[in-house]
Chain A
Amino acid sequence: MEGITRMSYLLGKRGVVFKLLAVLLAATAVASACGSDSSSDDAAPAATTAAPAEETATTEAPETTDAPATTATPTTTTEAPPVGPSQGGSASLAIEAEATGLRPWEDTCSSPCYNMMNAVFDKLTEQYADGSYGPMLAKSWESNDDYTVFTVQLQEGVSFTDGTPLTAQHIADMFVVQQTGAASAGVIASSNLIGVEATGDLEVTYTLSATNGPFMAVLSRAPMGMVFNAALVPAGDEDAMAAAANAPTGIGTGPFMVTNRDVDNRTDMERNPNYWMSDNFGTQLPYLDSVSFHPIPDEGTRLDSLSSGTVTAMQTLRQATIRDARTVAEDGSLWMFEFQGNNAGGGMFNVLVPPYDDVRVRRGLIMATRQDAIIAALGGEGISEPATQLYAEDSPWYSEEAAEAYASYDFDGAMALLEDYINDADRSDGKAVGEKLDVVLSCPPDPTLIAAMEVTQQFWNETGLVNTELTAFDQATHINMALGMGNEFRGEHEVHCWRWGSESDPGGENSGSAPWETSPFNFSNWHDPEHYALLEEARTTDDVPTRAALYAQASIMVNEQVPIYFSGGTATAIATAAGLGGFDSWILPDGEIGIGHPSAEGRWGQAYWTETE
């Protein structure tokens, strides 16, 4: 079994096991902080974080009109367009949670800590603005015809921050550590990777056990893509592992070096004077002399910190905070960098638990709710768009037919379905005919999520056919319930808030950004061989229209069966003090513009203060 194989990697190292839970909880910190409806990214190391893709494009592209275009001028500001990047200066970013650690192979994290990791580490590949994959430390690559061997050429003249030159052997050595890494082991298994070899000074060969067209996408994600010096973390050395969590000098090749890490307070970084990348005008990167990161879990005081000048930037994944930041930004004192891609809030049904095993109940409940009202309760009016599938409208995988198949608001239709169920003599929950349904809805206890839950409850109760109970648990518990470690992974959840989707190619792990395979990470427990076969098929080609047609079919099946549902796209933003920008104009080494700032992940190596004075 795949699970067992994965386990054998873990067995190699004491403590890894414990850390797997840590991985699940990585994003947690204090519940309210982290993207509390627990993005599948945060939650599921093996199944979703790996989640990568293919050279052929995912989507990205901002969805709201306010989202910044690929210029340095954010659209919500009234300031005159900046002249260009100035050299020097410092920036401080308020992040929504502290990073468990800065070890890409070990500490699975979400948006807040990717902001830090991206400053310390370079990845092998990066996504272009259109979502396709381009060079970073990997200068070029080719594969054999059946996508089982990938040969990668590294950039020349790159060195770690302590001066050690980067060679192909470093990448091969990383693999030893990654095989037991709590974040990377699962990715290795699900990407079919079985060997990494240095086949030249700067040539690395990746060998896979089976076809994986989108493999290079795996190298654009932190667990496998971020390059570190494995010599700093010799096997079995617990102290070195602990020290690596604070990213000591020499561990990465990135634009910044950590000079001070005061956990839960601040992480200070200074520019790497020997950084290998330059911008399109030949100016050596990074522009900023220093940058610091400050975890501030409370949404309100995080924005307060920015508007009072305590920090010069903040990130948020909450619509209500974006709304408030926009209000503050009206006088031109803030710049907004918003992004809404394929990530969407919503939830799932545990289809192994009656009455959710019956599609009439699942569809009926979702048809009884108005997505716009839930978005309003989340504070996202005019910020978040409703969602109908795992892909946003500008994604190449988006399907109009799938959108129509979604269980949109239809109160009478919902009543009909639910009545049909409760009057069914064979109803699965074993209650008497005509008796009301008992439903439990659970989200993490963030204020806006609670408001949204209350709205949902009101809709359901309004049918007169449902008793809805609400529960809210801290993020760690929330994730644990969905996993269901105590009951063979059936889960202890019923209707559970969750966050779906990512910018990565859906092909990477056959997940479609939600885990559909028969694994513990298939939280809704919905698995349809026919549906899964479509995903498998989409992996064997790299023709976008063909794949898009297959994903459309898959999306339609999901929307008919409703194992998961949506409550609006996840709007994210980096808000900065006016003058600090560059988040949507960063480039890959070939000079092309990168993907911007999905999930409020900034590339601080190319952020700058504009030359306006």
Chain B
Amino acid sequence: MKFSPPSKRKFSLLAAFKSMGFLTKLCFSWLVVLVLSAIFADLIPGLDDPNYQAWLFDTTGNELRNDTPSWNHWLGTDVNGRDILARLIYGARVSLAVVASGVTCGVIFGGLFGSFVGYVRGKREAVVMASIDVILAFPGLVLLLTIITFVGARDLKVLCIIIGALSIPIYTRVARANALTVSRREFVAAAEALGTKQRTILIKEIVPNVLPTVLAYALVAAAVLVALEGALAFLGLSVESPAPSWGNMINLARADLRVTIWPAVWPSLALVFTVFSLNNVGDWIRQKAQKRAAAI
């Protein structure tokens, strides 16, 4: 008797894209464009230096500040006369870095950890889950604020490390819950009956089957992290200026809301649409994962 775990099936990105609904296609494309433009921002022809303030040295001076969209500045300029589009694109890097650190730490450490304890059970599970309960008892934002403030440094690296570390417990919990379900499945029982080593089962059977759900969760969690950067900037605790980040852009533009709303609107839209896309694509993956799990 041979059980073939679903993870062995071939995965085609193109087929997956085709099976998406219109909205999800849109969201997925937005995310792809976002990631690519953020990574290759330096290669985009004609994109301004996101930090250069021409108004300080240009004879036209003040007219370059809080400017309306024009051929040179597609989305206009901000309070210091910088190109908003360029800042949006470079700003995406901050959001991506935060997301990447949260997701990477979460999936790798949390995911493995959770799969492990969910599969082996016993005392180890009890201890790990109890400590995670304790950590999760602290409001995340409060913990983050306390650490950022007391540590003092706010460069991107520090922010990423803290967010990465704080992401692990919740991923562990998600992964463990799924590992519990997966380890009750027939193919695991069969492998055990065949005398396969625990470690092999964990790596070959449990982890690949827990992964899709964890990844679906990761996109939802990523959405939370993108929004979190906005909240941190609102409290003045996001990355140091002049590095553009969407939260910083919104926060800076807030002082000028009664003069012009656009420097605040563009980063807000970017933020909202990105969070929306992450949630939407995350939902889509989750549904796929559920359907597949049900089909086994």
A473 touches B255 (CB 8 A): no
Residues of A close to B22: CB separation below 8 A: none
- Pair B236/A470 contact, Cβ less than 8 Å: no
- Is A465 part of the binding interface, using a Cβ–Cβ cutoff of 8 Å? no
Q: Is the CB of B62 within 8 A of A470?
A: no
Residues of A within 8 A of B79 (CB): 377, 451
The 9 closest A-B pairs by CB, nearest first: A445-B236, A447-B255, A324-B258, A454-B242, A458-B53, A320-B255, A450-B241, A448-B255, A447-B252
**Interface: A32 (CB within 8 A):** yes
Chain A residues within CB distance 8 Å of chain B: 31-32, 299-300, 303, 318, 320, 323-324, 327-328, 370, 373, 376-377, 379, 381, 444-448, 450-451, 453-455, 457-459, 462, 469-474, 477
Give how many A-B residue pairs fall within 8 Å (CB-CB).
76
Looking at the assembled complex, report how far the CB atom of B49 sits from the nearest CB atom of chain A, in whole angstroms.
11
Contacting residues, chain B, for A477 (C-beta < 8 A): 149, 152
When the two chains form their complex, are residues B241 and A462 in contact, meaning their CB atoms are under 8 A apart?
no
CA distance A454 to B65 in the complex (A): 13
Contact B256 A454 (CB under 8 A): no
**A446–B240 CA distance with the chains assembled, in angstroms:** 12
Would you list 17 pairs from A and B whose C-beta atoms are within 8 A, ordered by A residue? A324-B258, A370-B56, A376-B62, A377-B80, A381-B62, A447-B252, A447-B253, A447-B255, A450-B248, A451-B80, A454-B241, A455-B56, A457-B242, A458-B52, A470-B241, A471-B154, A474-B236
Most central of B52, B149, B152, B242 by chain A CB within 10 Å: B242
Bound CA span A448–B78, Å = 12
CA distance A222 to B47 in the complex (A): 55
Q: How far is the CB of A527 from chain B (nearest CB, A)?
A: 28
Shortest Cβ distance from B78 into chain A, in angstroms? 9
Contacting residues, chain B, for A470 (C-beta < 8 A): 240-242
Residue B251 CB within 8 A of the other chain: yes
For A328, list chain B residues within 8 Å (CB): 258
In the complex, what distance in Å separates the CA atom of A328 from the CA atom of B236?
27
In the complex, which residues of chain B have a beta carbon less than 8 angstroms from the beta carbon of A454? 51, 53, 80, 241-242
CB pair A32–B236 under 8 Å, yes or no, is yes
- Contact indicator B254/A447 (Cβ below 8 Å): yes
Q: Contact residues of B with A, CB < 8 Å?
A: 51-53, 55-57, 62, 65, 79-80, 149, 152, 154, 236-237, 240-242, 248, 251-259
**Chain B residue contacts of A455, Cβ below 8 A:** 53, 56, 80
| Residue from B56, B62, B240, B255 having most chain A Cβ neighbours under 10 A | B255
Closest to B237 in A: A445
Complex: A470 Cα to B259 Cα, angstroms: 26
Contact call A474/B149, Cβ cutoff below 8 A: yes
- How far apart are the CA atoms of A471 and B55 in the complex, in Å? 23
**Nearest B residue to A450, CB-CB:** B241
Q: Which residues of A contact B53 (CB under 8 A)?
A: 454-455, 458
Question: Closest approach, in angstroms, between the C-beta of B134 and any C-beta of chain A?
Answer: 28
- Please measure, in the bound complex, the distance between the C-alpha atom of A24 and the C-alpha atom of B82, giving whole angstroms: 36
Contact B152 A320 (CB under 8 A): no
Best-surrounded residue of B236, B252, B257, B259 (most CB of chain A within 10 A): B236
Give every chain A residue within 8 A of B57 (Cβ-Cβ): 462
Neighbouring B residues of A32 by C-beta, 8 Å: 236
User: What is the chain B residue whose CB lies nearest that of A370?
Assistant: B56
Q: Can you name 17 extra interface pairs (CB under 8 A) apart from A300-B254, A376-B62, A450-B252? A: A299-B255, A303-B258, A323-B259, A324-B258, A328-B258, A370-B56, A373-B55, A445-B237, A447-B254, A450-B248, A454-B53, A455-B80, A458-B51, A458-B52, A458-B56, A458-B80, A471-B240
- For the complex formed, measure the closest distance between the CB of B253 and the CB atoms of chain A, giving whole angstroms: 8
Nearest Cβ on chain A to B181's Cβ, whole angstroms: 45
Cross-chain contact B255 with A300 (CB below 8 angstroms): yes
A363 to B89, CA, bound (A): 37
- Pair A472/B241 contact, Cβ less than 8 Å: yes
B152 x A376 contact (CB < 8 A): no
A472, B52: Cβ atoms closer than 8 Å:
no
Minimum CB–CB distance from B172 to chain A (whole Å) comes to 32
- Contact between chains at A379 and B255 (CB < 8 Å): yes
How far apart are the CA atoms of A327 and B258 in the complex, in Å? 9
| Chain A residues whose CB sits within 8 angstroms of the CB of B251 once the complex forms | 447
Q: For residue B255, which residues in chain A have a CB less than 8 angstroms away from its CB?
A: 299-300, 318, 320, 379, 447-448, 451
Determine the distance from Cα of A373 to Cα of B259 in the docked complex, in whole angstroms: 17
Residue of A nearest to B54 (CB): A458
How close is B230's CB to chain A, nearest CB, in angstroms?
A: 14
| Closest chain B residue to A447, Cβ basis | B255
Residues in A whose Cβ lies below 8 Å from that of B55: 373
A299: B residues at CB distance < 8 A:
255
Least distance between A298 CB and chain B CB atoms (Å): 9
Residue of A nearest to B55 (CB): A373
CB distance from A460 to the nearest CB of B (A): 11
Residues of B within 8 Å of A444, CB to CB, are: 236
Separation of A451 and B251 alpha carbons in the complex (Å): 11
Residues of B within 8 A of A453 (CB): 241-242
Q: Contacts of B52 on A, CB cut-off 8 Å?
A: 458
Quick one: closest A residue to B233, CB to CB? A445
Chain B contacts of A471 at CB under 8 A? 154, 240
Q: Which residues of B contact A462 (CB under 8 A)?
A: 56-57
Whole-angstrom distance from the CB of A323 to the nearest CB of chain B?
Answer: 8
Q: Which residues of B contact A376 (CB under 8 A)?
A: 62, 65
Chain A nearest CB from B31 CB (Å) reads 29
